[in-house]
Structure 1
Amino acid sequence: MIVVLSKGISTHDKEMVRIYLKDRGFAIRDQLLGEDEVIGATGKGVVDLRELGILPGVERVAATSKPYELASRESKSEDTIVTVGPVKIGGSRITVIAGPCAVESREQILETALRVRESGAVMLRGGAYKPRSSPYAFQGLGMQGLEFMKAAGEATGMPIVTEVVSPEFAAQMNDLTDMFQIGARNMQNFELLKKVGALGKPVLLKRGPSATIEEWLLSAEYLLAAGTRDVVLCERGIRTFETYTRNTLDISAIPVVKGLSHLPVLVDPSHAVGIRAKVSSAALAAVAAGADGLTVEVHPHPDEALSDGPQSLFPEQFERLMRDIEALAPVVGKELLRTPKPSQELSTKSVDLSSGTPKPVSPKDLPVAFSGESGAYAEQALMRAFGEEAPRLGAASFRAVFDAVLDGSAGFGVAPVENSLAGSVHENYDLFLRYPDIAIVGELKLRIVHCLIGEENAQIENISIVRSHPQGFAQCRDFLDKYPHWQLEACNDTATAVASIAREGATKVAAIAGEAAAKAHGLKVLKAGIETNPLNYTRFVIIARRNGSDKAPVPPSLGSEPANKASLVFSVSDEPGSLFACLKIMSERGINLSKLESRPIQGKPWEYQFYVDVTLPPTEETFDAVVQELKAKTEDFHFLGSYRASL
């Protein structure tokens, strides 16, 4: 049984709850579960749950039917997101950890780190201590290997995960590793679990070769009960009668465990199959089955590896696998996690482990990304928000803007989300769900004056093709209806449409864009003000990458006034009154809705999610309470960000 305590509970009330449980025959332990302070009660005690639930300081009681109470989804319905430095594991992300089986030398671990980082890995794996079946096999470099690995991780901006094999090594390794790994052989080494759990650091727990799912989760319970809040489960294959692979990858365990537990689940395809040629297929199958990520063995020269060379991918194979994962991710409703690099160029020549670690660049020192070429409306919005001298990064698409902010190429991004005539830019709203580590930190509204733009010698009567973004066509529908013979060609953005005419020198092709785009590319305005309604405004949002605390930096140019607006996305169960129940929560708390729009959920026909903009209440505590209530009422909930509303 889990007793969730109210935030701000007094010491007296907490002690009274403890006494109440002890008097009724329970063994108790204090525990932090996410942001909640809880008391775990185990044993054969008997209690009236209704009476326990109304005790002062008790927020709710979760009676679990599982022996792994803290790891059970009955005690925590929402998925746990484990944070390791800039890396988040769980939720709608696919997190890839890569590196060699063992650290063999300073040069080997650095070369591997550079290659896997360039391909998209966000954490570095490698063994400093290796528990081997044979006492004569390579046992690792010990603490020296861990120091090499830590330096390589810092040089490439990747947290490291390494196996701890003995309780006495745990404290010694604690300052050098970012995440402990409990290997398959040690899954039921309970003294090791208790020692590592007490250190409070994130732990990657591998399933034992002969362990049942319940035994695996009970080992996770040891870690959680000992003190750590962050446990990631790792399926790495179990021992069966099959001999064609090293182990048998239990794909079915992934959805089963995710149903039983709130903890994220990774898969180690390298140990599962043990054959290099089969690793990528197993990895993709794991992603399709719902895994939150992978840990993959990669070695620059597998044939020379001192440990597990036959199952280690060549860097080129790993790069292909990452491309395949990126293509598969949207199909399963996820996004491949990327993190900012410490520098824009990583190579063995530019990184010297002995000379220190490159430092991440502050977001305010990086360019601001926008979709399109010079003269785009997004660039005008950018200059309005950041100033005309702000460094800029033009991106080929809206998604490329999100990518640039996510990988650290840009500190902030500017993206349109709504037009007063044509409505929402659904592509960008959908991108927020695919990029959970991107948040809205500001907004501004820009008046849009569309022009028909062409070459210097172009005439309206000779035009046969018009290019623009689909929103541009929609906003100029009345004007375009006058020329039904024009062929409309969609472009990624309005400025790109103008740039294409300038490059081609086409005299029978025109573009719909702003006057700034015409000036930027040396073209002329054939007709100005062609939008259907002169009150044509586009709402742009400023986006940034969330940091470890789930907050995102706010551009200094937006001022220091507190946020007064927030954007949410949620879905509800298909039953009468489910949406009304959510709206009622906000209404009763005095929260005003400024936007409510439904959108189909990709991959789920006839199911919908709701985009909501709200005015924030005067106190942050009120809104936090609303969010918690909404999470309890909704099927899926996303907080897109809070920001200062544009006037």
Structure 2
Amino acid sequence: MIVVLKQGIDLQDKNKVKSFLSDRGFLVKEIKGEQDTVLGAVGMAHIDPREVELLPGVASVVPISKPYKLASRELKAEDTIVKVGNVKIGGNRVALIAGPCACECRSQIMEIAASVREAGAVILRGGAFKPRTSPYSFQGLGEEGLKYLREAGDKYGMPVTTEVVSPRDVEMMKNYIDMFQIGARNMQNFELLKEVGKTGMPVLLKRGMSATIEEWLMAAEYLMANGTDQVVLCERGIRTFERATRNTLDCSAIPVVQKLTHLPVIGDPSHATGIRDMVSPMALALVAAGASGLMVEVHNHPEKALSDGPQSLYPSQFEKLVRDVQALCPVVGKSLETSPRIIPSSITDESACETTQGDNVIAFQGERGAFSELAIRRTFDEDVKVLPCKSFKDTFDAVNSGKVRYAVLPIENTLGGTILENIDLLGCYPALTVVGEQQIRVIHNLIVNPGTQLSDIKKVLSHPQGLAQCREFLEKELPNAEQVPFFDTAGSVSYIKQTGDKSLAAIAGAPAAAYNKMEILREGIETNPKNYTRFYILSREENSEEFKSCFASNVASILFSVSNESGSLFKVLKILSDHGLNMKKLESRPIPGKPWEYSFFVEVEMKDEEEFKNTIKLLKEKTTSFRVLGTFKSAH
């Protein structure tokens, strides 16, 4: 059952409710949601719900209809984010787990760990104990393999996961790994599930070869009932009559499971297909279906692999897959996990998220729930706080003065073009540098006060670009409604909330509706769905390396001016071309105080950052002023 506690319940009354339930044989879990705190009470005991409802501090009692209780979405509405080392799985993340099927020797796992980490994997996998169909097949290196796996994970900064096959190995293995893996053959090995659950550690639970979704979730329930709430579900294909592939990948299980449970679900395209050339397309299918991550087998010499060589990607193939996943993520409202992040649905508690200054504060322009804040939530750790600023200049000032650690600012929109004001401001703050970028898909929604009907709306408020990008919807569905330009999309939502007027509507993103507790009347009303905004992440120069430490830069932004003579710009561009620096963007901007003189903003792709540094000397010789605005990892 779910026991909903009254808001403001004191600790003494809460403990009395817990004790009442525990004394009657229930396992009690406390869950704090966005609005309410609830107690989940599960077990074999039976009790009249009215007895619980009469206890001080209890608001209501709701039965859980599903046979799986702790894993049920009925018990916990918000997504569970599973933390494995410094990596988080769930929400709007796509976490990549990669490594060989089996750890064969020290040099093998070290080499593969280096390559997958460089490509973008955040968790290292590798089998130390291998349950094989044939007793004569390679069974793994056992504890020796665990030692190699741990060493590789520590060296390359990745938490590690491996499969446990025997309850007697659990105690020994937990000293080497960060996440247990329960394989498909052991999904219903209930004694193993009990032992692993007791550790309280994260667990990756693969779906059994012939298991229904309910059986899969009941296996998760075993883990949770015995002590861990950090469970990741993994769809790895099921056994059907089809023999063209190793298994049949059930992509439909991803959205189904996400509706039934709060636990994150990822996919394993390697075991699902068993064929190397099919792994990448099916990996993309899993991400498109909403998976929160992928587990992919990668081997440096798959033709010599002791286990599952035909389905293992070469490192170069995995690197391409990572780039493809990164490009797909914004389409489905997710981002690739490279550092700790936060989910957009958590943009609700002002007291927890908003502050004025400090090292753990990120500035942005706009009001709470703006698209810029969404970019923050897809980039930084869960405990960051935000500082909304009135203008772009105020945002630059906040990070330049040290009031905040970082700022996130829009730099380009696929429909509206470059945000020229921010290009100009970049040149005015020599102490600041670009350390990263984030890309999000802009999804516009018609947002109203609760209870408003489409026929009630007389005025629609939003930023001019928001109104323009939704013109077809407005002309078709609200032809008589006045379109009122507003300074900010999220600000328009805040304004109509303050008025309480049901004749007003706003166009903004879903986070603005969530933060203001408003209703989305229509979703995705933009005319062109290929609407993306790219954001720069700025910091003071002295803070730049801590952000960039987990990845290699491949893009540079530069600002320069040239002499007013024929061919001067061409000479600069030729240097870029001769040194393999692919130019992605070129903008000319007027120089303040110098009529008819211009500076040039350029973005280039780098193959090697050190080589780029060597090229800078040549560029400075051909320019009258030159500045590197920043080097960073591309988000697309």
TM-score by length of 2: 0.59
| 1:549-586 CA-partner distances (Å, limit 9, x unpaired) | xxxxxxxxxxxxxxxxxxxx999997752699xxxxxx
Give the aligned partner of residue 41 of structure 1.
42
1:147 aligns with 2:158: no
1:41 deviation in Å?
3.4
1:251 deviation in Å?
0.9
Q: Determine if contact 2:210/2:239 at 8 Å carries over to the other structure.
A: yes
**What is the RMSD of the two structures over their aligned residues, measured on CA atoms?**
4.7
| 1:504-546 CA-partner distances (Å, limit 9, x unpaired) | xxxxxxxx669848xx8xxxxxxxxxxxxxxxxxxx9x9999x
SS at match of 1:277: helix
Q: Determine if contact 1:92/1:436 at 8 Å carries over to the other structure.
A: no
User: Structure 1 residues 490 and 215 mapped into 2: Cα distance closer, same or farther (>3 Å)?
Assistant: closer
Give the aligned partner of residue 181 of structure 1.
181
Q: Determine if contact 2:179/2:203 at 8 Å carries over to the other structure.
A: yes
User: Structure 1 residues 149 and 579 mapped into 2: Cα distance closer, same or farther (>3 Å)?
Assistant: farther
Q: Determine if contact 2:90/2:264 at 8 Å carries over to the other structure.
A: yes
SS at match of 2:27: strand
1:137 aligns with 2:81: no
Tell me the distance in 1 between the aligned counterparts of 2:464 and 2:70: 36
1:19 deviation in Å?
4.0
Q: Determine if contact 1:268/1:295 at 8 Å carries over to the other structure.
A: yes
1:56 deviation in Å?
2.2
| 1:601-645 CA-partner distances (Å, limit 9, x unpaired) | 99997899846899xxxxxxxxxxxx9x97896689xxxxxxxxx
Q: How does 1:242-391 map to 2 (within 5 A)?
A: 242-339=242-339
Give the aligned partner of residue 459 of structure 1.
none
Q: How does 1:444-483 map to 2 (within 5 A)?
A: none
1:144 deviation in Å?
1.4
Tell me the distance in 2 between the aligned counterparts of 1:12 and 1:206: 40
Tell me the distance in 2 between the aligned counterparts of 1:514 and 1:189: 59
SS at match of 1:296: strand
Give the aligned partner of residue 505 of structure 1.
none
Q: How does 1:389-400 map to 2 (within 5 A)?
A: none
Give the aligned partner of residue 214 of structure 2.
214
Amino acid at match of 1:214: E
Give the aligned partner of residue 98 of structure 2.
98
User: Structure 1 residues 174 and 94 mapped into 2: Cα distance closer, same or farther (>3 Å)?
Assistant: same
User: Structure 1 residues 178 and 446 mapped into 2: Cα distance closer, same or farther (>3 Å)?
Assistant: same
In structure 2, runs of 5+ residues without a counterpart are: 341-356, 395-408, 454-461, 478-487, 496-510, 521-636
Q: Determine if contact 2:362/2:386 at 8 Å carries over to the other structure.
A: no
Q: Determine if contact 1:572/1:634 at 8 Å carries over to the other structure.
A: no
In structure 1, runs of 5+ residues without a counterpart are: 341-384, 387-410, 450-468, 473-488, 497-511, 521-539, 546-568, 581-595, 615-626, 637-647
1:111 aligns with 2:59: no
User: Structure 1 residues 13 and 433 mapped into 2: Cα distance closer, same or farther (>3 Å)?
Assistant: closer
1:491 deviation in Å?
4.9
Amino acid at match of 2:160: I
1:339 deviation in Å?
2.4
Tell me the distance in 2 between the aligned counterparts of 1:574 and 1:494: 28
1:53 deviation in Å?
3.4
SS at match of 1:201: coil
1:435 aligns with 2:383: no
User: Structure 1 residues 33 and 314 mapped into 2: Cα distance closer, same or farther (>3 Å)?
Assistant: farther
SS at match of 2:64: coil
User: Structure 1 residues 329 and 46 mapped into 2: Cα distance closer, same or farther (>3 Å)?
Assistant: same
Amino acid at match of 1:31: K
1:42 deviation in Å?
4.0
SS at match of 2:170: helix
1:417 deviation in Å?
1.6
Give the aligned partner of residue 481 of structure 1.
none
SS at match of 1:208: coil
Q: How does 1:515-594 map to 2 (within 5 A)?
A: 516=428, 577=450
1:222 deviation in Å?
0.6
SS at match of 2:284: helix
1:85 deviation in Å?
1.9
1:52 deviation in Å?
2.5
Tell me the distance in 2 between the aligned counterparts of 1:116 and 1:12: 51
1:12 deviation in Å?
7.3
Tell me the distance in 2 between the aligned counterparts of 1:515 and 1:123: 39
Tell me the distance in 1 between the aligned counterparts of 2:334 and 2:517: 23
Q: Determine if contact 2:206/2:233 at 8 Å carries over to the other structure.
A: yes
Give the aligned partner of residue 563 of structure 1.
none
TM-score by length of 1: 0.58
Give the aligned partner of residue 194 of structure 2.
194
Amino acid at match of 1:174: K
Tell me the distance in 1 between the aligned counterparts of 2:81 and 2:123: 16
| 1:36-78 CA-partner distances (Å, limit 9, x unpaired) | 67342344735245x6335224465342110001111111111
User: Structure 1 residues 39 and 122 mapped into 2: Cα distance closer, same or farther (>3 Å)?
Assistant: same
Q: Determine if contact 2:232/2:263 at 8 Å carries over to the other structure.
A: yes
User: Structure 1 residues 220 and 597 mapped into 2: Cα distance closer, same or farther (>3 Å)?
Assistant: farther
1:336 deviation in Å?
1.0
SS at match of 1:94: strand
1:4 deviation in Å?
5.2
Q: Determine if contact 1:441/1:544 at 8 Å carries over to the other structure.
A: no
Q: Determine if contact 2:18/2:28 at 8 Å carries over to the other structure.
A: no
SS at match of 1:321: helix
Amino acid at match of 2:302: P
1:182 deviation in Å?
0.7
Amino acid at match of 2:102: A
Q: Determine if contact 2:448/2:519 at 8 Å carries over to the other structure.
A: no
SS at match of 1:3: strand
343, 361, 365: which one aligns with 1:417: 365
Q: Determine if contact 1:302/1:313 at 8 Å carries over to the other structure.
A: yes
Q: Determine if contact 2:99/2:299 at 8 Å carries over to the other structure.
A: yes
Give the aligned partner of residue 31 of structure 1.
29
User: Structure 1 residues 141 and 277 mapped into 2: Cα distance closer, same or farther (>3 Å)?
Assistant: same
Amino acid at match of 2:166: S
User: Structure 1 residues 442 and 109 mapped into 2: Cα distance closer, same or farther (>3 Å)?
Assistant: same
Give the aligned partner of residue 169 of structure 1.
169
Tell me the distance in 1 between the aligned counterparts of 2:333 and 2:494: 23
Tell me the distance in 1 between the aligned counterparts of 2:91 and 2:427: 43
Q: Determine if contact 1:268/1:294 at 8 Å carries over to the other structure.
A: yes
Q: Determine if contact 1:124/1:159 at 8 Å carries over to the other structure.
A: yes
Tell me the distance in 2 between the aligned counterparts of 1:17 and 1:244: 53
Amino acid at match of 2:365: V
1:447 deviation in Å?
9.5
Tell me the distance in 1 between the aligned counterparts of 2:111 and 2:39: 45
| 1:172-197 CA-partner distances (Å, limit 9, x unpaired) | 11121111111111100111111111
